[in-house]
Amino acid sequence: MQLFDFNGGVTPEYHKEASTQSPIAVSPAPSRNGLKNFLVIPLHQSIGGTPRPLVSAGDRVLKGQRIGAADGDMSSAVHASTSGQVVAVEMRRMPHPSGLSALCVVIEADGRDEWIARQPFDYHQHTAAETRDYLRDAGVVGLGGAVFPTHLKISPGKGGKLDTLIINGAECEPFITCDDLLMRERAEAIIQGVVILRDLLAAGRALIGIEDNKPQALAAMTAAVQAGGHQDMAVVAVPTRYPAGGAKQLIRVLTGIEVPHGKRSTDYGVQCFNVGTAYAIHEAINLGQPLISRIVTVAGNVAAPRNYAALIGTPLHTLLANSQPLPDTDRLIMGGPMMGITLPGDEVPVVKATNCILVGSPRLFPPPPPEMPCIRCGECAKACPADLQPFELYWFSRAKIFGKAQEYHLFDCIECGCCAYVCPSHIPLVDYYRFAKSEIWANESEKAAADQAREQYEFRQLREAREAQEKAARLAARTAAGRAAATNALAMAPVTAPAATSAAASAVTSAATPVTEPAQTPSPQAALIAAALERARAQQVQPANTTNLTPEQQAEIAAIEARRAQIRTQAHPHLPPDD
Partner 1 sequence: MLAALLVMALGAVVLGAALGFAAVKFRVEGDPLTEKIDAILPQTQCGQCGYPGCKPYAAAMAKGEADINQCPPGGDEGIRKLADLLGREYKPLSAEHGVEKPKALAVIDEQRCIGCTLCIQACPVDAIVGAAKQMHTVIAAQCTGCELCVPVCPVDCIDMVPVAENITTWKWKYPVVAIKPVTTQ
Partner 2 sequence: MNNSPYLRQATSVQSVMLRVLFALLPGIAAYVWFFGAAIVLQIVLASLTALAAEALVLHLRGKPLAIFLTDGSALVTAWLIALSFPPLAPWWLVVLATMIAIIVAKHLYGGLGQNPFNPAMVAFALMIVAYPQFMSRWPGTDAIDFATQWQIIFGLHANQALDALTMATPLDALRTALHSTNATTVTVASALAHNPAIGLMAGRGWEWIAAGHLIGGLWLVQQRIITWHLPTAFLATLFLLAGLASTINPSEFAGPLFHLFGGGAMLAAFFIVTDPVSAATTPYGKLIFAAGVALLTWIIRSFGAYPDGIAFAVLLMNIAVPLIDMATQPRVFGHKKNGSNHHG
Q: Which residues are near partner 2 by CB under 8 A?
A: 6-7, 10, 12-13, 97, 174, 248, 252, 258-263, 330-331, 333, 335-342, 360, 364-365, 367-370, 372-379, 381-382, 385-389, 391-392, 406-412, 417, 420-426, 428, 430-431, 434
Query: Could you say which of ligand SF4, partner 2, partner 1, none residue 432 binds, taking C-beta under 5 to 8 angstroms by partner kind?
Result: partner 1
Q: What is the C-alpha to C-alpha distance for residues 334 and 311, in angstroms, rounded to an integer?
A: 16
In the complex, minimum distance from the CB of residue 426 to partner 1, in angstroms, rounded to a whole number: 10
Q: Which residue, 174 or 276, has its beta carbon nearer to partner 2?
A: 174
Closest to 206 (Cα-Cα) out of 195, 217, 219, 190: 195
Taking the complex as a whole, how short is the minimal distance between the CB of residue 457 and partner 1, in angstroms? 5
Query: Does the protein bind ligand SF4 through residue 453 (CB under 6 A)?
Result: no
Task: Tally Cβ neighbours within 10 Å of residue 132.
Answer: 21
Q: Is 259 in the site for ligand SF4 (CB under 6 A)?
A: no
CA distance 324 to 71: 39
* Sites for ligand SF4 among residues 327-386 (CB under 6 A): 374-380, 383-386
- Shortest reach from residue 439's CB to ligand SF4, in Å: 16
Write the CA distances from 123 to 177, 243, 280, integer angstroms.
31, 34, 15
The binder of 30, among partner 1, partner 2, ligand SF4, none, by C-beta within 5 to 8 A per type, is none
Of the pair 256, 378, the CB lying nearest ligand SF4 is at: 378
Closer CB to ligand SF4, residue 254 or residue 427?
A: 427
How many other C-beta atoms can be found within 10 angstroms of the C-beta atom of residue 457? 10
Question: Are 274 and 182 contacting, i.e. CB atoms less than 8 angstroms apart?
Answer: no
- Output 98 or 502, the one with its CB closest to partner 1: 98
Torsion sign across C-alpha atoms 143, 149, 151, 152: negative
| Closer residue to partner 2 in complex, CB, 109/416 | 416
Binding mask 524-543 for ligand SF4 (x = CB under 6 A): --------------------
Give the residue ranges of DSSP H helices in 337-410: 379-383, 390-398, 402-407
Residue 390 binds which entry of ligand SF4, partner 2, partner 1, none, CB below 5-8 Å type-dependent: ligand SF4
> At its nearest, how many Å lie between partner 2 and the CB of residue 346?
15
Q: Is 61 or 420 the residue whose CB approaches ligand SF4 more closely?
A: 420
Complex with ligand SF4: residue 221 or 416, whichever CB lies closer: 416
For the chain, report the end-to-end CA distance as a whole number of angstroms.
80
DSSP code at position 566 = H
Q: Which helix (H) or strand (E) holds 75?
A: none
Distance of CA 401 to the CA centre of its chain: 27
Closest-CA residue to 42 (of 353, 357, 377, 349)? 349
The per-residue b/e assignment along 48-80, b for 16 or more CB within 10 angstroms, e otherwise, is bebbebbbeeebebbbbbbbbebbeeebbbbbb
Region from 137-145, 177-185, 289-297, 388-396 binding ligand SF4, contact rule CB under 6 A: 388-396
Residue 419 makes contact with ligand SF4 by CB under 6 A: yes
Q: Which residues would be at the binding site for partner 1 (CB under 8 A)?
A: 44, 94, 96-98, 100-102, 369-372, 398, 428, 431-432, 434-435, 437-439, 442, 449-454, 456-461
Sheet holding 341-342, edge to edge: 25-26, 306-311, 293-300, 356-360, 331-334, 341-342
From candidates 177, 390, 397, 470, binder to ligand SF4 by CB under 6 A? 390
Would you tell me how many other CB atoms lie within 10 Å of the CB of residue 199? 12
Which is closer to partner 2, CB of 115 or CB of 365?
A: 365
For partner 1, the closer CB: 372 or 486: 372
| DSSP bridge pairs for 309 | 26, 295
- With CB under 5 to 8 Å by kind, the binding choice for 458 among partner 2, ligand SF4, partner 1, none is partner 1
Q: How far is the CB of 446 from partner 1 (least distance, A)?
A: 8
Binding to ligand SF4 by residue 89, rule CB under 6 A? no
Options 203-211, 360-368, 387-395, 557-565: segment touching ligand SF4 (CB under 6 A): 387-395
30 or 417: whose CB is closer to ligand SF4? 417
- Return the DSSP state at 412: G
How many C-beta atoms lie closer than 10 Å to residue 460's C-beta? 10
Q: How far is the CB of 399 from partner 2 (least distance, A)?
A: 12
| β-pair partners for 299 | 358
Please, what is the Cα angle at 62 between 194 and 150, to 5 degrees?
25
Instruction: Count Cβ neighbours within 10 Å for each residue of 286-297 and write b for 16 or more, e otherwise.
Output: bebbbbbbbbbb
Give the binding site for ligand SF4 (CB under 6 A): 374-380, 383-386, 388, 390-391, 394, 413-419, 422-425, 427, 429-430
